[in-house]
Amino acid sequence: MIDQLYRKAILTVAERDSVEKLLRARAWPVAQRFVAGEDIPSAVQAMKDLQADGISSNMDLLGEFIESAEDCTRFADNVLGVVEAMQGAGITPYVSIKLSSVGQGKDEDGQDLGLKNARRIITKAKEYGGFVCLDMEDHPRVDQTLAQLRTLIGEFGHGHVGTVLQSYLYRSLKDREGLDDLKPNLRFVKGAYLEPESVAYPDKADVDANYRRLVYQHLKSGAYTNVATHDERLIEDVKRFVLAHGIGKDGFEFQLLYGIRRDLQKQLVKDGYRVRVYLPYGRDWYPYFSRRIAERPSNALFVLQGMFKG
């Protein structure tokens, strides 16, 4: 409950225009810990640095609350540029997209624009043997995102498109079970959006318990599982679970956030596990940055120290 109250307080304050203006002006030097630059060359260099340590990347061009259809299509074009840049750098493309950012819910010639733009991105990624992860957003978008995932897996296969499930949502266990026939590649996270208690667990212990249930069930299903957490207790539990159930290290990977616990990332690689880092970049970094601050008090303290240092 305390964690939920802290997150709610931070996200509520962060939404204030005056706070956003201050942080955008003064926090970018600190935000670079969590965001791999504002342009493609910076992000590609970050990917190469990770690759040198045996760590893969999940590239995410940051952008939220994109309103017009034209801007959504332009954003999708920019993601295609990311796919091309990764291929050009000798890195198999792996990108995340928010369907809302590419037009989900907007009609264009009788088609959902988000689905249309997602098809363009996945087509290009598949051409290079790559993968597109459909980021999960707040709870009102879950049904449509899962429906569109089903459509896209039908068209491209589960080896080229997947999505994310959030353990703080009550519904996620049933959502996962409902996808079993697709054998989907799923990324499991705890959840970072501010959700009401009517749809999400308020207590961390319940979120963690549901996280274990989701990951264990998906591992047992035989579908590829992305364990996205920095919680070392959960990581150790997953290690014990796969060992006890004879699940090979090629059936899952650990995913961590850029700029957080690089030592843990390297240790997991050293221990023979697949590791991928969620690597966000772009000029629209503030919403993502706010959610990182809201995850734990130590992140907020780090930001304050960086802003007022000297």
Report the catalytic residues.
Answer: 135, 187
272 vs 267: CA distance, rounded Å: 9
Residue 204: both structure tokens together? 């961390």
Residue 267: what are its φ and ψ, rounded to 5°?
Answer: -65, -40
Closest by alpha carbon to 304, among 29, 4, 17? 29
Is the four-CA dihedral 291, 295, 300, 302 of positive or negative sign?
negative
Single-letter amino acid, residue 144 = Q
Radius of gyration of the chain (CA): 19
169 vs 91: CA distance, rounded Å: 34
Q: How far is CA 162 from CA 136, 159, 200, 269, in A?
A: 10, 8, 22, 23
Which residues have CB under 8 Å from 118's CB, separation 6+? Answer: 76, 97, 99, 102, 132, 134, 148, 152, 161
129 vs 133: CA distance, rounded Å: 14
Segment (H or E) for 70:
helix 69-88
Query: DSSP of 186-198, one letter per residue?
Result: EEEE---S---TT
Which residues have CB under 8 Å from 155's CB, separation 6+? Answer: 119
Q: Cβ distance 254 to 215 under 8 Å? A: no
Single-letter amino acid, residue 307 = M
